């Protein structure tokens, strides 16, 4: 069984390249474009890791993260924030209970390294 990663990101180009990178490294990637899609998926399935963009249409990444972390069924899933805004991301990550963060644009090694850290 491949490890399953839920990529919550609305930038389709970025979704495509990130998906490719992770799939080439042996992961299964499911994309959700917004919180609705994400929670629809999460109701029937539990991924091994979540990559979460902070800036999304509708419910923002921070909100999604907080919701996930107070849901008993989901709170153990590691969450890596995916963000383009630089200011105080480490502080934000801590506040909302995310496990790690990656700044866009990222180095391929950084992405793979951090993913591996959580799901081998």
Binder to another protein among 11, 37, 63, 99 (CB under 8 A)? 11
Closest CB to another protein among residues 66, 104: 104
Applying CB under 8 A, among 36, 45, 71, 88 the residue interacting with another protein is 88
Name the percent of the chain in helix, strand, coil, to the closest 5.
45, 20, 35
- Tokens 């963009």 — which residue? 53
Among 43, 72, 105, 120, binds another protein (CB under 8 A): 105
Rule CB under 8 A: is residue 69 a binding residue for another protein? no
Indicate whether 112 belongs to the interface with another protein (CB under 8 A): no
What is the DSSP-derived secondary structure letter of residue 35?
A: H
**Phi-psi sector, 91: left (phi>0), alpha (psi -120 to 50), beta:** alpha
């Amino acid at each position: 069984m491949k490890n399953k990663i839920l990529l919550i990101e609305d930038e389709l180009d970025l979704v495509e390249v990130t998906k490719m990178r992770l799939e080439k490294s042996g992961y299964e990637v499911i994309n959700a474009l917004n919180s609705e899609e994400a929670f629809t998926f999460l109701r029937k399935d539990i991924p091994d890791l979540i990559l979460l963009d902070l800036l999304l249409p509708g419910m923002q990444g921070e909100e999604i993260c907080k919701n996930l972390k107070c849901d008993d069924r989901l709170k153990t899933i590691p969450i890596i924030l995916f963000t383009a805004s630089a200011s105080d991301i480490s502080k934000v990550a801590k506040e909302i209970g995310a496990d790690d963060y990656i700044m866009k644009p990222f180095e391929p090694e950084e992405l793979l390294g951090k993913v591996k850290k959580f799901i081998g």
